[in-house]
Structure 1
Amino acid sequence: MKIVFMGTPDFSVPILEGILEENWEVAGVVTQPDRPKGRKKRLTPPPVKQAANAHGLPVLQPETLKKEENVQAVLDLQPDVIVTAAFGQLLPESLLFTPPYKAVNVHASLLPKYRGGAPIHQAVIDGEEKSGVTIMYMEKEMDAGDILARREVEITETDTAGTLHDKLSAAGRSLLLETLPRLADHELTPEPQNPEEATFAPNIKRGREKINWNQPGHVIYNQVRGMNPWPGAYTMYKGKSIKIWETKKVHVPSSRETVPGTILSLEEDGILTAAAGDTAVNITSLQPSGKKAMKAADFLRGTHELTPGERFNGDEENV
Structure 2
Amino acid sequence: MPHTLASQFLNHTLPSLAREIFEVCLLLFKLMIPVLIIVKALEALGAIPYISVALEPVMRLVGLPESMGLVWTTTLLTNIYGGMLIFFQLAPQESLTVAQVTVLSSMMLIAHSLPLELRITQKAGVRIMVALLIRIISALLLGALLHWSYQWGGWLQQPVELIWQTPATDSSLLSWGINQLKSFVMIILIITVLMSLLRFLRWIHIERLMIWLLQPLLRILGIGPQATSLTIIGVTLGLSFGGGLLIREAQNGHISGKDCFSALCLLSLCHSVIEDTLLVMTLGADLSGVLWARLAFSLIFVAIMTRWLNHTSDAFQQRWLLNSSNSNTRKEGPMNAN
Please state which band the TM-score falls in when normalised by the shorter chain.
under 0.3
Indicate the structure with greater strand content.
1
Tell me the TM-score normalized by structure 1: 0.24
Larger helix percent: 2
Of structures 1 and 2, the one scoring higher in RCO (CA 8 A, sep 6+) is 2
Provide TM-score, normalisation by structure 2.
0.23
